[in-house]
Structure 1
Amino acid sequence: MEKLHHYARLVRLDRPIGIYLLLWPTLWALWIAAEGVPDLTILLVFVAGVVLMRSAGCAINDYADRKVDPHVARTKTRPLAAGLITPTEALGVFAVLGILSFLLALLLNGLTIALSLVAVLLAATYPFMKRFHHLPQVHLGAAFAWAIPMAFTAVTGEMPPLVAWLLFLAAVLWTTAYDTMYAMCDREDDLKIGVKSTAILFGQHDRLLIGILQVLTLLLLAWVGILSSLGGWYWLGLLVAAGLSVYQQWLIRHREPLPSLQAFLNNHWLGMAVFIGLAVDYAF
C-alpha cells in the first residue's frame, strides 16, 4: 500500500490541477465539434484519457528530472527525487499508463487512433526539452492541446477544420502563458542548475509577454466563437476569462514564487469559465 501511495504521488493524483488544465480545452473541443453534448462513449474515453495521459506525463517528467528535482526546493520531496521509488519503476508507470491510454483510443475511429500516436510522442518528449531550448512551455502546450484535433476527428470522423486549429493554437498560447507563471516559481533554482524555461528567456519582460499571450488566447477564442456562431453565454464566459487574466497579472506583479503559483492555479477557473459559457450556450 505504501508503494501505491508513492506511485499516486508520482503521477500527482494529490495535485489534480494538471488534469483540469488538460481537461478544459478537451471539453471545449468536444462541445464545439458536436455542437453540444458529445456522444457519451466519446466523452468518457476522452475524460479517462486526460487522466491517464496527464498521469503518464508526470511519471516521465520525474524520470527526466530525477537528477534535477533533488536540487529544487519545490520538487525535492517528489517520490523519485526522494529515493522512495526507482527510475525503473517510474518508467514502468509511464509505460503502463501509456498503454492504457492507447487501448482507450482503440474505442475511437482510425483517424483518431493515428492522432493518438502523436499525443504519446509529445507527452514522452516534453520533459526532456528544457535541456535543449528555452521553450519547453510551448512543447507542453502542443502536448496538452493535441487533444483538440483528436476530439474533432473522434466526433466527426474527418480531418479537423479551421476552427479546431484556431482552438489548438489558443490552447498552446494559453498553456505557454500559465506554465511560464509556474516556471517563475523555480526561476532562481533553474538558473543555478542550468534548466531552461520561458520564464528565464522572457526575463524582465515576463509579465508583458505573458500578457500578450493572454490577449492572443482570448482573441483566438473570440475568433472561434464567431466561426462557430456562438452566442451571449459564450461571450460572457470569455469576459470572465478576461477578468481572470487581469487578476493573474496582478498576482504576478512582484514576480514572487507563491503568488506566481496562485496565478498558475487560477487558470483552472479560466478554463472552466470558457467551458461553462460554451456548454450553456449550446444548451439554450
Structure 2
Amino acid sequence: MPLVVVYPFMKRITYWPQLVLGLAFNWGALAGWTAVTGGMHLPVALPLYAAGVSWTLVYDTIYGHQDKRDDQLVGVKSTSLLFGDRTKEVLAVFSTSTIGLICLSGFMNGQGLPFYLAVAGAGSAHLMWQLRRVNINDPATCWSTFKSNTWFGAIVFGAILTDLAYNRLTADNDAGDKTPDPTEVEP
C-alpha cells in the first residue's frame, strides 16, 4: 500500500512517476499468483511483475504525452518529459523488455509453443504498431494508442488460454492413444 499512497506525489519529486505507478499497479501479479496457486513461486511471478512494470512505462508514457504542455506549465514531471523526442526509442526498449519478461515468466511456468507464438508474435506486433502509430505531439493519437493497450492485454490473456486449451487437447489425445501392451499382465 505505501506505493499506492505515494504515487500521486511522485510527479512533484521524480521524472519516473510511471515507474512508481507500475510498481503499485502491477502488485496484482504477485497477489494474484499467490491467490490462485496458494503460494509464491518467484521464478514465475517476479518476471511477470517486472513485465507489468515495463508495460506500464510504455502505456503511461504514451498517455503522459497528452498532458506534457500542461505538466511543463505547472511544474510536474513525467517520463514523457524526460524521454522527450527519444520517447519511441526508449519505449522500444521497454516494449522488448515486456515481451522478453512475459516469455521468461511463461518459460518458468512451463508454457508451450502456442503461448510463445501469441506473445512474441502478436504481442510484439501490437507494441511495434503502437510505437509506429503514435504521434507524441498529437494528444488524440496518444489517447487512442493508450486505449489500444486493452488489446495487448487481450493478446497475453488469449496466449494463456490458447496454450491451456492446446495442452488439454494434446493431453486428452495422448491419453486416448495409449494402447495396452499385450505382454503386460495386470496383477
TM-score by length of 2: 0.83
Deviations 1:74-130 (A, max 9, x none): xxxxxxxxxxxxxxxxxxxxxxxxxxxxxxxxxxxxxxxxxxxxxx33222211111
* 8 A contact 1:122–1:143 mirrored in 2: yes
Residue 254 to residue 190, structure 1, CA distance change in 2 (3 Å): closer
* 8 A contact 2:58–2:91 mirrored in 1: yes
Matched, 1:261 2:146: no
Deviation at 1:253, TM superposition (A): 4.1
Deviation at 1:182, TM superposition (A): 0.2
| RMSD over aligned Cα atoms | 1.4
Deviation at 1:193, TM superposition (A): 0.7
1:234 aligned residue (93, 115, 118): 115
Alignment of 1:1-284 (within 5 A): 120-238=1-119, 239-253=121-135, 255-284=137-166
* 8 A contact 1:237–1:275 mirrored in 2: no
> Runs of 5+ in structure 2 lacking a partner?
167-187
Matched position secondary structure for 1:196:
coil
Deviation at 1:151, TM superposition (A): 1.4
- Quick one: which amino acid aligns to residue 166 of structure 1? P
Matched position secondary structure for 1:122:
helix
Matched position secondary structure for 1:195:
coil
Deviations 1:25-78 (A, max 9, x none): xxxxxxxxxxxxxxxxxxxxxxxxxxxxxxxxxxxxxxxxxxxxxxxxxxxxxx
CA distance in 2, matches of 1:283, 1:246: 27
Number of matched residues?
165
> Runs of 5+ in structure 1 lacking a partner?
1-119
CA distance in 2, matches of 1:159, 1:244: 30
CA distance in 2, matches of 1:250, 1:205: 13
| Identity rate, percent | 35
* 8 A contact 2:62–2:136 mirrored in 1: no
Matched position secondary structure for 1:134:
coil
TM-score by length of 1: 0.56
